[in-house]
Structure 1
Amino acid sequence: MDLRLPSSVHVFERGWLSSNNILFSGEGGTALVDSGYVTHAAQTLALVRHRLGERPLERLLNTHLHSDHCGGNALLQQAYACHTAIPALDAARVAAWDEEALSYRATGQQCARFSFDATLAPGDTLQLGDLPWQVLAAPGHDPHALLFYCAREGILISGDALWENGFGVVFPELAGEPGFTEVGATLDLVASLDVRLVIPGHGPVFGEVGAALARARARLDYLAADPVRNAQNAVKVLLKFLLLERRALALEALPGLLVSIPLVERVRRTLLPMAPHALAQWATAALLRAGAARIEEARLVDV
């Protein structure tokens, strides 16, 4: 399988607290797609500086504005004064810095305030790494998310719309808005493209796109059959994110911590009707079963 990237495209695979970053160079200038989480911003800057050397970072673009994809924006703007482009449908929220509408307050996550110079919308075309890229809509995980597709190279930058094994939490459904149908439509769009390899928001670059789409559709069918499953997945993901950020959490503090996150509390009241301590016990057990955490000295510790 050919997973080679053009020499003008470099991927920093970051893990799960920070999204992957895609750095472009070439005669047409330099650019970065997605900047990771705010607590990793200094590391993002160091990675970019190491790769670019004396060259400046001229442009910054975001597939979507969840905190793990744009948390490094502010520091990169401070360091480089880079021209920044964000999804058009989020422009008013960023201009007003509405942390509720941008999901940061709802998810209990952080994001340093940043500005923008331009917007991106489906149908736009870009030049990144001396290659032409199409901007495509990718609603579902985030209603305003975008894909970047280079037909010449068969490369798709998918954000959290498609991973090698699934996709991001379907957040709109948790707020009472449609999301499952939109995920399906995005997967259909990806299937219609001639994609050789995918650069996902998390995880390694992968080929075998048909197999990944089949796994994603099976996952979607499973979640859509019972919305409680999507709610349970969201609680697990948000708790794991806190663990990734803080490394360890006191067990006795978990009930209060979870219900202090507005989205988790909404889910608890509407889809997972259980007392806060019961929800904390359930979420802890779920992470332990998955091998994503361990208990050590009355603390839940990241693995």
Structure 2
Amino acid sequence: MFKKEILKDLFFIERGYLSGNHFVYKSKAPILIDTGYISDFNETDRSITRLGVNLSDVSLIINTHTHCDHIGGNKIIQQKSECDVALHKAGKYFIDARDDWSTWWRYYNQEADFFKCTQTLEDGEIIAIGPHKFQVIYTPGHASDGIVLYNSQEKILISSDTLWESDMAVMTLRVEGSMALFHMRESLQKLESLDVKIVYPGHGKPFSDMKKAISKSKKIIKKYLLHQDAIGDDLIKKIIVYTLLMKKAIKENAFFPYLMNTNWFKETVDLYFNSEYESKYNEIMNTFFRKGIIKRENGDLFTTIKP
């Protein structure tokens, strides 16, 4: 697991696809940024404690948004430490209202626990992580409560799922609304105005060429606006892989029936692919088998993507 001290006592921890990357500020009152996926919490715990941080000492968790791969450890850590949790005001509303649809948890059959949100973050606000000052920038699109954190002094951007290096996070228009692509484009335009030396994304390694990454994301948005079936294709591929990561393995003969009982799969195929459920499933699975992204073993399916 890759770790890097990005500012004095502030560490970046790279995870995989199941859990988002997260950050640890090491002090007598530690601060965490994002906490991974709930079933992967043991690894989250180990990665933090190896830095010499006791979870019972955590004073604050800052979440970049309320998707399951970023808030999974919140409840457990809050129970241990009675720490504060800070979210954008939209995310605080979702958590206070126990809205597991807007957070995607129920839509995608994801495991997550509600927790107590004690602080609201506003667009443009400056938040202190120890001596380090970060500007909160509201970036809806992928998530309607999404934020990034920008340190202007060292030109560091914690971009979460608003910006990845070579791809774009899944767009769930059935939850986020028909304006989500336009909101995402506007969020990217906000980032373009920043002077950034290095980006720490929600998934993947740090990268330095922010302009190139933004350009790639804008091209994806343009493609989605011209060819809406591309939204559905990307969504199905990403969520099938994520589902296998959540489950670790599932019987091959049970996977299609399982998907047909979810909210997202049937609705996505209805919306983008004329309700051709089985043919779309077979098309995508055959592509994954051919590329080695999904494999069969003793009747089970599993993914080779790093969890």
Specify if TM > 0.5: yes
Whether the 8 Å contact between 1:26 and 1:130 is mirrored in structure 2 is: no
CA positional deviation for 1:253? 1.4
Paired position in structure 1 for 2:90: 89
Paired position in structure 2 for 1:74: 75
Q: 1:152 and 1:26, CA in 2 relative to 1: closer, same or farther beyond 3 A?
A: farther
Whether the 8 Å contact between 2:65 and 2:143 is mirrored in structure 1 is: yes
Measured against aligned partners, the alpha-carbon deviations of 1:87-125 in whole angstroms (never above 9, x if no partner) come to: 211223211322223221101111022111111121211
Whether the 8 Å contact between 1:249 and 1:299 is mirrored in structure 2 is: yes
Whether the 8 Å contact between 2:62 and 2:86 is mirrored in structure 1 is: yes
Counterpart amino acid of residue 164 in structure 1: E
CA positional deviation for 1:174? 6.5
Whether the 8 Å contact between 2:60 and 2:83 is mirrored in structure 1 is: yes
Q: 1:290 and 1:136, CA in 2 relative to 1: closer, same or farther beyond 3 A?
A: farther
CA positional deviation for 1:54? 5.3
SS at match of 2:61: strand
Counterpart amino acid of residue 32 in structure 1: L
Q: 1:174 and 1:91, CA in 2 relative to 1: closer, same or farther beyond 3 A?
A: closer
Matched, 1:222 2:235: no
Counting only pairs closer than 5 Å after superposition, residues 184-195 of structure 1 correspond to structure 2 as 184-195=185-196
CA positional deviation for 1:225? 1.8
Counting only pairs closer than 5 Å after superposition, residues 103-182 of structure 1 correspond to structure 2 as 103-172=104-173, 176-182=177-183
Counterpart CA distance in 2 for 1:54 and 1:94 is: 26
Paired position in structure 1 for 2:48: 48
Counterpart amino acid of residue 187 in structure 1: L
CA positional deviation for 1:43? 2.0
Matched, 1:37 2:37: yes
Counterpart CA distance in 2 for 1:71 and 1:285 is: 31
Whether the 8 Å contact between 2:102 and 2:175 is mirrored in structure 1 is: no
Whether the 8 Å contact between 2:101 and 2:175 is mirrored in structure 1 is: no
Measured against aligned partners, the alpha-carbon deviations of 1:21-40 in whole angstroms (never above 9, x if no partner) come to: 1111358x421111100101
The two structures have a TM-score, normalised by structure 1, of: 0.92
Measured against aligned partners, the alpha-carbon deviations of 1:241-282 in whole angstroms (never above 9, x if no partner) come to: 111122222222122211222122211212122343223212
Structure 2: gaps (5+ residues): none
Paired position in structure 2 for 1:271: 272
Paired position in structure 2 for 1:98: 99
Paired position in structure 1 for 2:245: 244
Whether the 8 Å contact between 1:258 and 1:280 is mirrored in structure 2 is: no
- Larger CA deviation: 91-100 vs 143-152: 91-100
- Larger CA deviation: 165-174 vs 184-193: 165-174
Counterpart CA distance in 2 for 1:64 and 1:289 is: 34
Identity of aligned residues (%): 24
Measured against aligned partners, the alpha-carbon deviations of 1:65-105 in whole angstroms (never above 9, x if no partner) come to: 01011111111112222111112112232113222232211
Structure 1: gaps (5+ residues): none
Counterpart amino acid of residue 225 in structure 1: L
Whether the 8 Å contact between 2:140 and 2:187 is mirrored in structure 1 is: yes
Whether the 8 Å contact between 1:64 and 1:142 is mirrored in structure 2 is: yes
Whether the 8 Å contact between 1:106 and 1:261 is mirrored in structure 2 is: yes
Aligned residues: 300
Whether the 8 Å contact between 2:152 and 2:195 is mirrored in structure 1 is: yes
CA positional deviation for 1:185? 1.2
SS at match of 2:51: helix
Whether the 8 Å contact between 2:166 and 2:213 is mirrored in structure 1 is: yes
The two structures have a TM-score, normalised by structure 2, of: 0.91
Counterpart CA distance in 1 for 2:111 and 2:24 is: 23
Following superposition, which runs of at least 4 residues in structure 1 exceed 4 angstroms of deviation?
Answer: 173-176
Whether the 8 Å contact between 2:5 and 2:11 is mirrored in structure 1 is: no
RMSD across aligned C-alpha pairs, in angstroms? 2.0
Whether the 8 Å contact between 1:250 and 1:299 is mirrored in structure 2 is: yes
Counterpart CA distance in 1 for 2:54 and 2:105 is: 34
Q: 1:6 and 1:287, CA in 2 relative to 1: closer, same or farther beyond 3 A?
A: same
Measured against aligned partners, the alpha-carbon deviations of 1:178-236 in whole angstroms (never above 9, x if no partner) come to: 12111211111111000111110001111121222222222222222211111111111
